[in-house]
A and B are shown apart, each in its own frame.
Chain A
Amino acid sequence: MIADFDYQFFIEVLVGGLLSGVMYSLVAIGFVLIYKTSGVLNFAQGAMLLFAALTFVSLVERGIPFALALVITFAIMVTMGVAIERTVLRPLTNKPPITLFMATLGLSYIIEGAAQLIWGTQVHGLDLGIEDVPLEIGGVLISQFDIFAAVVAAGMVLLLSLFFRYTRIGLSFRAVADDQFAALAVGLRLPLIWGTVWAAAGLVALVAGLLWGARLGVQFSLSLVVLKALPVLVLGGFDSILGAIVGGLLIGASEKLAEVYIGDYFGGGIESWFAYVVALVFLLIRPSGLFGQKLVERV
């Protein structure tokens, strides 16, 4: 069996897996952004993604030009971020993180329901104007769309990393993430910071929503990509953007390879849980993910 191992095919599967992993990373970055600044696992990220994509598509279908629709959707996402901060997060300041997590669970129900109540439940096609013709690079076929997605993801990561490291507001984000109470005490304006970060998460949701929407069609199941992003987060560590990327690549590659090479032994369809098992195995070795911050426990 080893003798006639098809390396060409192996590399094609691997590259395809890595690139689809980038798509997972795109969603995961939105989570990391909010986790870094508020210590909240924002389960509503998927719903926000659905909402952004659905709003954009519906605007374009109503004859609004591409660029304008993008601006309007972004404005809506920012408004939503600010509204979430005002109505949900502010009353829950200084509550345990798990309470905030449950609040975002409720939030995801509201946003999903609202998105479909406003824009309807039918499936929309989304054309970003990128042709999905496979390119041949070094004898391996690679989807052009995947490369585009990878470039977008790379750009976004670069931007966010610079922002967190070098700007004043980026630094205050990190202070808030470290200790809300202390950040309040030294006079950081928590509402402003949370509002900004949720708006940024809205932007990430918009970008991810458009790319995923172009791939899968814009519909309810789009909000389920959250479930694909969670193992990526666990693997990479909730508070590391680099982790989200590396985790995405690892999950994407191992998932595809497993599906192709060992999936048959299980009767196929293992992609629904395989990523979680990979993440769990990693976690047993490193409990806060690959790049996550170590917890120091005190009594």
Chain B
Amino acid sequence: MTAITGSFSSAPVLPKWIVPFLLLAFAYGVVPLIGSSYLFEAILLPFLALSLAGVGLNILTGYAGQVSLGSAAFMAAGAFAAYNFNLRVEGLPLIGSIFLAGIVAAAIGIVFGLPSLRLKGFYLAVSTLAAQFFVQWALTKFSWFSNDSASGVIDAPKLSIAGFAFDGAVGRYLFALTIVTALTFLAYRLVSSQTGRNFIAIRDNETAARIIGIPVLKTKLLAFAISSFIIGVAGVIWAFAYLRTVEPDGFDLDRSFQILFIIIIGGLASIRGAFFGAALIVVFPLALSRLGGFLLGDVFDSGVLDMSQRIVLGALIILFLILEPDGLVALWDRVRRRLLFAWQST
């Protein structure tokens, strides 16, 4: 589908870990000091949750080549599982609930990944919609999941680990950042391991992969499990750290598409791509509403905004597919190489 990008780009001067390290140092050391609460609440928290979901989907779709339209279902499963573990299991630390929620999402992922053993391409993509509708239906239908709350909307628990409470926007940001960093690191290690290469082999040619001895069925289910685990945890962050409520409505089909768009725009089969894509998806509606309000004034009401967002988003997807099929990551790498080249030749 797409080549692996960026792994041998021309930056021999710097060791590979330096850029992520500097970014993390900035994210932990500088951002909490200078950021406004708007920055955390409206941009950084959804960005982190969606990036992680993008990383998860990218493992399944970008690396293993199995298109899924049900990502939001796994986010929902994760969020509700974490809520219920936290509520019903006495003395379970929050981090334990989150881990178990990931496991639950992974289990559901395996169940809905079973069709992938026989189905390919569009047939599989459509069958993942079953997950989307079934999970959303189950969560709205059975009030046990939302602890019989009348409105179906429930407050998320306080975030605290080992007695340390992550209060306020900055606290929740640091909480989300830590989880996202840890899981992204693991995902990065995974895709450069033998398992990751098996994923790619299955994506590129399943029959050939089978012939060279890759256990195709096991590997596909593993991809579904790992991807759903990560997406499930992303759902927990979305509900607990960003929205502060747990509700099934936020995890609808549009959310699934949003996550798919993130990895298309960011770059398929690229861990960094999920972050690029998520940044664009989060910032772009905010920017568009500012710009529209500024240029058109009162004509630009929320209805018009909503519609023009859809149009521009759709156009962006098509443009990326035509002009930059490897996504923002490829664009960024090219720009960086040019700059580096220009700098070296001076």
Contact = CB atoms under 8 A, between A and B. Distances in A.
Interface of A: 41, 87-88, 91-92, 95-99, 101-103, 105-114, 116-117, 121, 227, 230-231, 233-234, 238, 266-270, 272-273, 276-277, 279-280, 283-284, 287-289, 295, 297-299
B126 A231 contact: yes
Q: Pick from B119, B136, B260, B321 the residue with the most CB of A within 10 Å.
A: B321
Contacts of A288: 123
B207 A297 contact: yes
30 contacts: A41-B122, A41-B125, A88-B318, A97-B121, A97-B122, A98-B67, A98-B121, A99-B321, A99-B325, A101-B67, A101-B125, A102-B317, A103-B322, A105-B260, A106-B321, A107-B314, A109-B311, A111-B314, A113-B314, A116-B307, A234-B126, A272-B136, A280-B115, A283-B119, A283-B127, A284-B115, A284-B118, A287-B118, A287-B123, A297-B206
A163 to B, nearest CB: 24
B314 A98 contact: no
B133 A272 contact: yes
B309 interface: yes
Given A287-B120, A297-B207, 10 more contacts: A95-B321, A98-B122, A101-B125, A106-B314, A110-B310, A110-B318, A227-B133, A227-B253, A272-B133, A279-B130
B215 to A, nearest CB: 17
A277 B208 CA distance: 31
Contacts of A280: 115, 127, 130
Nearest to A278: B130
A284 B142 CA distance: 28
Contact of B211 (A41, A91, A269, A299): A299
B311 A117 contact: yes
A283 B314 CA distance: 31
Interface residues of B, number: 46
Contacts of A114: 307, 311
A174 to B, nearest CB: 19
B342 to A, nearest CB: 30
Contacts of B207: 297-299
Contacts of A279: 126-127, 130
Contact of B314 (A97, A108, A117): A108
Provide the main secondary structure of the chain B interface: helix
A234 B67 CA distance: 15
Contacts of A99: 1, 321, 325
B141 interface: yes
Nearest to A87: B318
A287 B206 CA distance: 16
Nearest to A114: B311
Contacts of B120: 287, 295
A114 B127 CA distance: 29
A108 B134 CA distance: 23
Given A99-B325, A299-B205, A283 B317 contact: no
Contact of A102 (B206, B264, B308): B264
B11 interface: no
Given A230-B126, A272-B137, A284-B115, A106 B211 contact: no
Nearest to A277: B130
B321 A103 contact: yes
A95 B120 CA distance: 17
A103 B309 CA distance: 17
A266 B140 CA distance: 12
Interface in B296-323: 303-304, 307-311, 313-318, 321-322
A270 B137 contact: yes
B129 interface: yes
A109 B264 CA distance: 15
Contacts of B310: 109-110, 112-113
Interface in B192-239: 205-208, 211
B257 interface: yes
B115 A110 contact: no
Q: Pick from B134, B141, B253, B311 the residue with the most CB of A within 10 Å.
A: B311
Contacts of A268: 141
A236 to B, nearest CB: 11
Given A269-B141, A273-B133, A276-B133, A283 B115 contact: yes
A62 B28 CA distance: 59
Contacts of A276: 126-127, 129-130, 133-134
